[in-house]
Amino acid sequence: MVGNAFKKLRRDLAFRHGRRLRQFNYWLLARVAMTIIWLLRLLPVDSALNFADRAARRIGPWVGRHNVAIANLRNAYPEKSDREIQAIASDMWGNMARLAAEYIFLDALFDYDPAATKPGRIEVKGIEHFVHIAEEPKPHIIFTAHLGNFELLPVAAATFGMNITALFRPPNNPYLADYILSTRRSTMGSLLPSSTGASFALAAILEKGGNIGVLVDQKFSSGLETTFFGRPCESNRVLGTLARHYDCDVYPARCVRLPGNRFRLEIEDKLTLPRTAGGSVDVHGTTQLLNDVVERWVREDPGQWMWFHKRWEISGPRGKHRQARQRGEAA
């Protein structure tokens, strides 16, 4: 009895100590990040972004996630040499560093003016779709991926008068999350944190005829089994489910990073969604279609996607069965 009580006390103390240590690590990391942000603000925009790119290319290979990125790249591109794989990974780290630094300069970077006679940092492709979605009195779903600076898409939507609520996943670090959320809200309009109940909130927006923006390229535990680059993965079914329920148009949108710290924002034609024999939207087929669109984008410029994400990790019993089968095949 006393022994059990002692063990419980020890577990409670370890939990509290671990939680405090984790909070301290979050606080320390946030302080370091804010110091770097303060230093970058002292530089001109282009100098700050180029510096972040160079620094990340040097530091990235020493980060644990670099090994995940290399493994993913080798599986996705078995025909590429080690030099080509390392070059893509280096571009990825440069892109991610630029994305982080660009939070500081979003107002300065987004200079798109439909009436401008000279090109700026931002060019837009698919203007007619931006205008159509903004003016059409019905719900729409716009999806994108972690490519280029995807955060600029909601800013562009607001420029064309599009009322859109973007679903986003806040960082685990609460101190950085507060800063990023305040930065996003000042330029991007309505935001919805990804959490339990988010799908119901998205449904409520569509119910009222609103528009939603969703990132679709991350692993979703216990999601639908689909493929990406020909390999099994788990994907979130929420977009397909909402499209079926509200029978609304779905548009692909992306940001392409261009040389000279410039960007191309584009919305493609609405997708023709696969249908069941009964005529309703096929959720699984739609989810796979989204993966196929993102794969096409990534293949066009693989260095602009975040390869360190464990996109192909299969969770739960499904993953254990797959691992056991692979071990059996290897034996």
The torsion angles phi and psi of 259, rounded to 5 degrees, stand at -60, 155
| pLDDT value of position 9 | 46
Q: What is the β-pairing status of strands 190-193 and 164-168?
A: parallel
Collapse the DSSP code of 310 into the 3-class scheme (helix H, G, I; strand E, B; otherwise coil) and give the result. coil
Q: Which residues of 132-159 are buried (b: 16+ CB within 10 A; e: fewer)?
A: bbbeeeebbbbbbbbbbbbbbbbbbbbb
CA distances from 99 to 13, 56, 135, 206 (A): 39, 11, 31, 29
Write down the residue that tokens 């060019």 correspond to.
Answer: 123
| pLDDT value of position 16 | 55
| pLDDT value of position 236 | 93
The edge-to-edge listing of strands for the beta sheet with 140-144 is 122-125, 262-267, 249-258, 140-144, 211-215, 164-168, 190-193
| pLDDT value of position 318 | 56
How far from the centroid of its chain's Cα atoms is residue 183's Cα?
17
State the amino acid at position 320 in one-letter form.
Answer: K
How many other C-beta atoms can be found within 10 angstroms of the C-beta atom of residue 199?
16
How many other C-beta atoms can be found within 10 angstroms of the C-beta atom of residue 227?
14
- Each residue's pLDDT, cut to its tens digit, for the chain (331 residues) gives 545 554 554 555 455 555 677 777 777 776 777 787 778 888 899 999 999 999 999 999 999 999 999 999 999 999 999 999 999 999 999 999 999 899 888 878 888 888 777 888 999 999 999 999 999 999 999 999 999 999 899 889 988 988 888 776 666 677 666 666 666 555 555 666 666 667 888 999 999 999 999 999 999 988 999 999 999 999 999 999 999 999 999 999 999 999 999 999 999 999 999 999 999 999 999 999 999 999 999 999 999 999 999 999 998 665 545 544 544 433 3
